[in-house]
Structure 1
Amino acid sequence: MTTYEPEPWRIKMVEPIRATTRAHRERAIRAAGWNPCLLRAEDVHIDLFTDSGTNAMSDRQWSALMRGDEAYAGARSFYVLEQAVREHYGYPHVVPVHQGRGGEAILSRCLLGPGTHVPGNMYFPTTRAHQELNGATFHDVIVDEAHDPVSEHPFKGDVDLDKLRALVEEVGADAIPCVSVAATVNMAGGQPISVGNLTAVCELAHAHGIPVFLDAARAVENAWFVKQREPGWGDKSVAEILHALCAPTDGAVVSAKKDGLANIGGWVGLRDADLADRVRAEALLYEGLHTYGGMAGRDMEAIAQGIAESVDEEHIRSRVAQVEYLGARLRNAGVPVVRPFGGHCVCVDAAATLPHIPRGQFPGQTLAAALYVVGGVRGVERGGVSAGRDPRTGDNRTPALELLRLAVPRRVYTRCHIDHVADSVIKVHQEREEITSGLVFSHEPPVLRFFQARFAPAGGESIFGRS
């Protein structure tokens, strides 16, 4: 039987969760417009919507909260955070922000403009939204294997260097203000990039005067996969590999709500002093003073402690093993899942699970709603709804991957909870023919629509054969 070693922590405090009836969940998902994002959290049994900000903090992090210096300017807690980032990520200039997308917005305003082009290893919705709102066009230069859910390529987050070269030749280096690289790649199912590839990307970009910025929210998980899969790195520590990943890049935007094991917060790390000054100036307008960036001092203390805990070998081994356990249970039961399994999530191939649901009726969104009804488990669609519309044509984008993402919070759920998730997904898969209708928009927001959109069944009152 698939299993994993006991978690390297024990439970000191509990939070009640409740199970509900299927009838209750059917009423709840209808009221939420068939969008699990709009459900009340109290109506969710196991919540795998995201691993962002949903982690369980350690006793040391809770203790760190009490050390928070809440001075408006120059708080001691900022320097504690700054030192943690410098030590573990290597960036000399650190600007705190309230969360990762705050950093994305600031960096985009500083670097991008109308007519510019940004290559990256697959899009993420908030990142691309900030790029497009500032007039840039995103170009996917990830390796082709990333778009193939059954490929076992060990580094599906790698950049295709030929694609990157071709883009530079096509639009010119002056039109590319930066390269945006994620480690790991969320929309591909948490797939890592190799140190060798990221180094080559930076060498190519720097030869043309183009800086490279890293989305390092899950770079610790990426470092773990490098340790396991990339030749020459097996004897290095996760902390050493994390440093090596960041070393060739010009900066990073980080949501501390992922690897950082915190519930809020983030930071921008930079090497260029002039750009750091510009980022601080933007932070003053939109986040707060450059020594708190929208966070309380206690938040910065908790993040600093979380950064230290994130590179602990036993912690990251256990974290990834729990995700692998869920993925293996689904794969062994015949559920089509993205392979290899990522560090923070398991992604079900919704297009393969529901081939009878047209892509225009959003199989990923439909499967997310069905899983909630059947098992009380909340995941999130990562496909046509998340991809949004092309800003030039207004047409729906149709990405190669149409997924249901199950993101596992860190240090939150036990094996019994994960087994319930697996049992629920397997049940939906076994009874997938009962899902007879997809979903269409009844309300479509213009930006990041998957958060607030509402849907209606395309074929009647319910997505299931019965009304």
Structure 2
Amino acid sequence: MKFMTAEPFRIKMVERVKKTTKQERQQWLKEAGFNVFKIKAENVYIDCLTDSGTSAMSSEQWSALMLGDESYAGSKSFYKLQESVEDIFGMPYVQPTHQGRAADYIMAKLYAREGRYAIGNMHFDTFRGNAEVLGALAVDYVIDDGKDTASPAHPFKGNIDVQKMKRLIEEKGSDQISVVIITVTCNNNGGQPVSMQNIREVSQLAKEYNIPVVLDSARLAENAYFIQQREEGYRNKSIKEITREMFSYCETATMSSKKDGMVNIGGLFVTRNKEVFEQAQQLAIVHEGFITYGGLAGRDLEALAVGLQEGCDEQYLEYRINQAKYLGDRLLENGVPIVEPTGGHGVYVDGRRFFPHIPQSEFPSQRLVVALYEEAGVRAVEIGACAFGSKDPVTGEPIWPDIETMRIALSRRVYTNSHMDVIANALGEIYKNRDQYKGMKLVYEAPITSLRHFTAGFELL
């Protein structure tokens, strides 16, 4: 007899959430310039803005917190973290940072070069912001299937198009390519995984031209689980066997530990290149603190050492991936157009298919974010025209992204499927009445275009 499986944990502590009225939410939206980043968390019923730093820690992690060594240098907590990282990454040099953006900054300073290209599947906002500041040219070469939100056929929509990558190298010259960054999983197009074969092929091509490869690995365990489940030859391999092989193909990896590290703060810069590591240490000392704490307290290092191991647990990953699938299936039942197949850390609603009458210049996905909060108190985030729109450097004309979505990010070990039902029902009702919604006008943006969505201001049209 086949039994249904439930969450692989028991809930021993709860946090009260506040229900609010639609009238209250309308007022808060207006005060926030219709940007949900500026809404107070206490006024959110179900918070799906991000999966970063929002995980529920385990009893083992809370126990580890009490063991934290707050020594400035040589903390025993650092060496526990170092051992855990080496076990999963298979690389010898570990520099902790206070969060992923700090690791991203160090990586950009070491690998991005002014006027040179940084190839990626789809660079996320923080590296793109660093590239913009440093004058590097960030290009996205995700496969064409990765831009097709409606087709569930391709199992690895996060893959880099190797032929496009090769063409750029041959046209511009290998000396004009400073780095290749593979984001696993690919955040921009739905948390889509990257296959081991693609990681291997990208690495081999880069090696031919002496171009370093970096893995942006915030969701390394989720990507490894997809490889295990979907890629031939990996079904009988453990998650950590898969992660070690993934990282064997790169020189350096960065990680926001606030995702698959299962903690609320922290980041990692990991490398096999001693010279790169020594440079990273100096940047860490300047910006983060001493090398054996990297801006974190000893208790944070302890919790992360445990969390990395828990994030690679196969029972947990099965629950994690299937909760996203559950929400995706419920949305499809309600007719809501989503990115298919569902990825690891959330469900992405296709803003253009949801609101076909609202052009990208009027921010359809942001309009959906506002509607979802207004109607149900659920906070999601726009991954579209505002977050990834840009301007032509010569003409100043807007350039709109290929994919226009609203991301419903799922916190780890926090919400039940009853919460997923609330989200699905709310979006189903909005979809029924979608013709009543009009677009939005951007009235304020920060000077760094790739980071404007955090502080942008809007008006309803």
TM range (shorter): over 0.9
CA contact (8 A) 1:357 1:363 kept: yes
1:304 aligns with 2:330: no
Distance in 2 separating the partners of 1:332 and 1:78: 48
Equivalent residue, structure 2, for 1:12: 12
CA contact (8 A) 2:389 2:401 kept: no
Distance in 2 separating the partners of 1:51 and 1:247: 27
Equivalent residue, structure 2, for 1:220: 221
Distance in 1 separating the partners of 2:231 and 2:347: 21
Distance in 2 separating the partners of 1:257 and 1:169: 38
Equivalent residue, structure 2, for 1:454: 457
CA contact (8 A) 1:28 1:39 kept: yes
Distance in 1 separating the partners of 2:345 and 2:16: 24
Off by >6 Å, runs of 4+ in structure 1: none
1:398-409 to structure 2, matched below 5 A, reads: 398-409=400-411
1:54-453 to structure 2, matched below 5 A, reads: 54-152=54-152, 153-390=154-391, 392-393=393-394, 394-435=396-437, 437-447=438-448, 448-453=451-456
CA contact (8 A) 1:368 1:378 kept: yes
1:214 shift after superposition: 0.2
Equivalent residue, structure 2, for 1:465: none
Write the letter of the residue equivalent to 1:395: E
The normalised TM-score by structure 1 is: 0.96
What does the per-residue CA deviation read over 1:426-458, in whole Å, with 9 as the maximum and x for residues that have no partner? 1111111221x2111221112211111111112
Distance in 2 separating the partners of 1:194 and 1:50: 24
What does the per-residue CA deviation read over 1:37-88, in whole Å, with 9 as the maximum and x for residues that have no partner? 1101011100000000000000110111111111111111111111111011
Write the letter of the residue equivalent to 1:431: N
Which has the higher mean CA deviation after the structures are superposed, 337-346 or 113-122? 113-122
1:409 shift after superposition: 0.3
What does the per-residue CA deviation read over 1:378-402, in whole Å, with 9 as the maximum and x for residues that have no partner? 0000001001423724433311111
Distance in 1 separating the partners of 2:298 and 2:5: 36
SS in 2 for 1:269: strand
Distance in 1 separating the partners of 2:377 and 2:276: 46
CA contact (8 A) 2:55 2:262 kept: yes
CA contact (8 A) 1:388 1:449 kept: no
Distance in 2 separating the partners of 1:194 and 1:110: 26
Write the letter of the residue equivalent to 2:24: H
SS in 2 for 1:190: coil
Write the letter of the residue equivalent to 1:278: Q
Distance in 2 separating the partners of 1:446 and 1:91: 38
1:144 shift after superposition: 0.6
Write the letter of the residue equivalent to 1:151: S
Distance in 2 separating the partners of 1:28 and 1:115: 42
Write the letter of the residue equivalent to 1:161: V
Distance in 1 separating the partners of 2:302 and 2:177: 37
CA contact (8 A) 1:261 1:303 kept: yes
CA contact (8 A) 2:334 2:424 kept: no
CA contact (8 A) 1:122 1:187 kept: yes
CA contact (8 A) 1:4 1:321 kept: no
Write the letter of the residue equivalent to 2:104: E
1:337 shift after superposition: 0.3
1:215 shift after superposition: 0.5
What does the per-residue CA deviation read over 1:99-144, in whole Å, with 9 as the maximum and x for residues that have no partner? 1111111111122221111110012111111122111101111101
Distance in 1 separating the partners of 2:277 and 2:244: 20
Distance in 2 separating the partners of 1:395 and 1:193: 32
SS in 1 for 2:391: coil
Residue ranges of structure 2 left out of the alignment (5+ in a row) = none
Residue ranges of structure 1 left out of the alignment (5+ in a row) = 459-467
CA contact (8 A) 2:68 2:299 kept: yes
SS in 1 for 2:398: coil
SS in 2 for 1:26: helix
The normalised TM-score by structure 2 is: 0.97
1:4 shift after superposition: 6.5
What does the per-residue CA deviation read over 1:135-156, in whole Å, with 9 as the maximum and x for residues that have no partner? 1101111101111101221101
SS in 1 for 2:458: strand
Distance in 2 separating the partners of 1:167 and 1:66: 51
Which has the higher mean CA deviation after the structures are superposed, 340-349 or 445-454? 445-454
1:178 shift after superposition: 1.1
Which has the higher mean CA deviation after the structures are superposed, 151-160 or 344-353? 151-160
CA contact (8 A) 2:311 2:317 kept: yes
Distance in 1 separating the partners of 2:10 and 2:433: 37
CA RMSD of aligned residues (A): 1.2
CA contact (8 A) 1:190 1:344 kept: yes
CA contact (8 A) 1:4 1:322 kept: no
State, as a whole percentage, how many aligned pairs show the same letter: 44
Distance in 1 separating the partners of 2:216 and 2:30: 36
What does the per-residue CA deviation read over 1:150-171, in whole Å, with 9 as the maximum and x for residues that have no partner? 1221101111110010011122
Write the letter of the residue equivalent to 1:43: N
Write the letter of the residue equivalent to 2:436: E
Equivalent residue, structure 2, for 1:24: 24
